[in-house]
Amino acid sequence: MTRHRSLCRPVAVCVLMALGGCDDATSPGGGAQSTLGKSAEFARNVAGDIEARDAQTGGMADAITGSSARVELAGLVWSIPAGWSRQPGGMMDEFSLVVPGSRGSETAAKFYVDIGGGVQANLKRWKGQMTYAGGPTDARIETRTLSGHTVTTIAMEGTYMMLLPSGASVRRDGYAFRGAIIEGPRELVFIKLVGPEELIEVVDRDWRRLISSMQAN
Residues 34 and 95 in one domain: no
Which has more confidence, 186 or 217?
186
Report yes or no on whether pTM surpasses 0.75.
no
Given a cut of 60, whether residue 37 has pLDDT beyond it is: no
Q: Give the integer Cα–Cα distance in Å for 174 and 167.
A: 22
- Per-residue model confidence (pLDDT) at position 152: 98
- Give yes or no: residues 129 and 172 share one domain: yes
**Residue 215 φ then ψ, to 5°:** -135, 150
pLDDT at 104: 83
Q: How many CB atoms lie within 10 A of CB 43?
A: 20
How large is the average pLDDT for residues 87-94?
93
Check pLDDT > 60 for residue 33.
no
Q: Which of 47, 65, 83 is the last residue of a domain?
A: 65
Cα separation, 90 vs 203, whole angstroms: 22
pLDDT band at 214 (very low <50, low <70, confident <90, very high): very high
pLDDT tens track for 136-193: 999 999 999 999 999 999 999 999 998 887 878 899 999 999 999 999 999 999 999 9
Q: Same domain for 6 and 93?
A: no
3-state DSSP assignment of residue 173: strand
pLDDT tens per residue across span 23-32: 343 333 444 4
Domain of 97, in residue numbers: 70-216
Residue 80 has pLDDT above 60, yes or no: yes
Residues 135 and 204 in one domain: yes
Last residue of a domain, one of 65, 89, 106: 65
- Say what the alpha-carbon torsion angle 54, 58, 59, 65 is, to the nearest 10 degrees: 170
Q: Are 23 and 98 part of one and the same domain?
A: no
Gyration radius (Cα) of the chain, Å = 19
Q: Are residues 57 and 15 in the same domain?
A: yes
pLDDT tens string 102-116: 998 889 999 999 889
Residue 66 in this model has a pLDDT that exceeds 70: no
State residue 168's pLDDT score. 86
The pLDDT of residue 165 is 74
Number of domains present in the structure of the chain: 2
